[in-house]
Amino acid sequence: MDDTVTATIEEARRLLGEGHDKRAADLLAIAANECRDSSKAATIKTLAEQGRGRAGLFGKRRWDEAIRLCDEQMTAGSPSGG
């Protein structure tokens, strides 16, 4: 599953570069949901925050799910989280 997450992150990165933000946001949410690695979660969150930062007023919410899932993953993966 880890290779699938990596491939999904890279596809989302490519889509962001091409301006396909809606599909990229969907893929990042899928990757965040499947991710069990805090360093990959950090990468997903960074990409989602970049997408959210350039989104218009009504497009920002599509990025929130990926960011929320990454925050949960990074908290669960920390020594004090759980």
Asked, for residue 82, whether it belongs to a domain, the answer is no
Are 76 and 41 within 8 A, CB to CB?
Answer: no
Contacts of 16 (CB under 8 A, 6+ apart): 24, 47, 50, 51
Asked, for residue 71, whether it belongs to a domain, the answer is yes
- Domain coverage including residue 64: 2-77
* Domain count along the chain: 1
pTM of the predicted protein model:
0.87
Q: Going residue by residue through the chain, which has 82 residues, state the pLDDT in tens, using 9 for 90 and above.
A: 679 999 999 999 999 999 999 999 999 999 999 999 999 999 999 999 999 999 988 888 999 999 999 998 888 866 544 4
